[in-house]
Amino acid sequence: MSKKPMSVRKTSRRSKKIWVPEVFSQKTIRVIVNGKEYVRDVKPRLLLVDFLRDSLGLTGTHVGCDTSNCGACTVILNGRSVKSCSMFAIQADGKEILTIEGLAKGNQFHPLQQAFWDNHGLQCGFCTPGMIMQAYWFLKENPHPSEEQIRWGIAGNLCRCTGYSNIVKAIQVASEKIGVEQMQVEPRKQRMVRRS
């Protein structure tokens, strides 16, 4: 029986070295990203944003602040908006992820992407992928928002260039376009509301 490689971890200056089998330093995860399944070995402390960018080559998800303040790393995880710099890749094991690269259908922009383009909802473009992903999730939750609701919906995403006016306008235009498309494709689903 062959021995597995070991790694050395020192717990403090005075303590002894602890030998940890290398097998504990990697975990195999299986994720579906933009409709495609990936199986990868990852280190337990690898952030989801780094997994998407470095392991899968999906560089549309940006690393802005590394503190979850800016929202440039926003992706959709199992239908929820998450900041991928604030979670580990192993937490996404068995889950479905949608990134900015997964919105477009071939060469056809998603209505949100087109609305950002048409209404100048971007300037330098650094925050744009995260802003669009947050808006995508927000419009799924609230398909016909007011301007004030849009501003609250994107409040966790920072833009240092545009002043937000054109971003809000782009989301309003997209909500109208998406609403029309959804009505043509599928009947509107009713959400159950719990009354207290």
Look at residue 188 in the predicted model and tell me its pLDDT. Answer: 37
> When comparing pLDDT for 179 and 1, which is higher?
179
Domain 111-184, what architecture?
Answer: Orthogonal Bundle (1.10)
Apex CA 75: angle with CA 178 and CA 92, to 5°? Answer: 130
127-144: average pLDDT? 94
8-20: average pLDDT? 56
Which segment of 116-130, 144-158, 170-184 scores lowest on mean pLDDT?
A: 170-184
Domain 25-102, what architecture?
Answer: Roll (3.10)
Look at residue 18 in the predicted model and tell me its pLDDT. Answer: 61
- Burial (CB < 10 A; 0-12, 13-18, 19+), residue 79, is exposed
Domain boundaries, the chain: 25-102, 111-184
Q: Which helix (H) or strand (E) holds 83?
A: strand 80-83
Assign 26 to helix, strand or coil: coil
44-73: average pLDDT? 92
Assign 49 to helix, strand or coil: helix
pLDDT tens-place string over residues 33-43: 999 999 999 99
Look at residue 22 in the predicted model and tell me its pLDDT. Answer: 57
Q: Which of 38, 39, 46, 3 is nearest to 21 (CA)?
A: 3
